[in-house]
Amino acid sequence: MKHAAILLTVLAPALLSGCVVSVGGDSDSHYQSDWEEREYNNRKHISKLEKDMTYEAVMRKMGVADFNELNQKQDGTYRILYYRTQRTADDGITTKDECTPLVFRDGLLIGWGDSAYALL
């Protein structure tokens, strides 16, 4: 009986150990799919925008912007919202060159993209 207890004590760790199965890959791949999905959703929503939409309507559709600027000029108040739409560097940091700007004048959407921003 004593020998059986000793044998069980020695063999228990080997008999009770198991395999760990990882489903879904490592944490980096999950992070990567998050930003890819975010960029895709932003591009999808931007493609459905219409000129003269209100700032509030765009915010309801798009959500919080990655960057936000406000400029006062002689012809009105300009607000620029930046939404991440493409990755340029694999550093985990969102920069403006990875974003599409949405340009508003006096609360109405007047354009989006680099060409709309260049008109300011």
Assess whether pLDDT exceeds 80 at residue 7.
no
When pLDDT is averaged across residues 42-52 and rounded to a whole number, the result is 97
- Whether the pTM exceeds 0.75: the reply is no
Q: How far apart are CA 84 and CA 100, in angstroms?
A: 6
Assess whether pLDDT exceeds 80 at residue 35.
yes
| Domains within the chain, CATH numbers bracketed | 51-120 (3.30.1450.10)
Give residue-wise pLDDT tens across range 63-73: 999 999 999 99
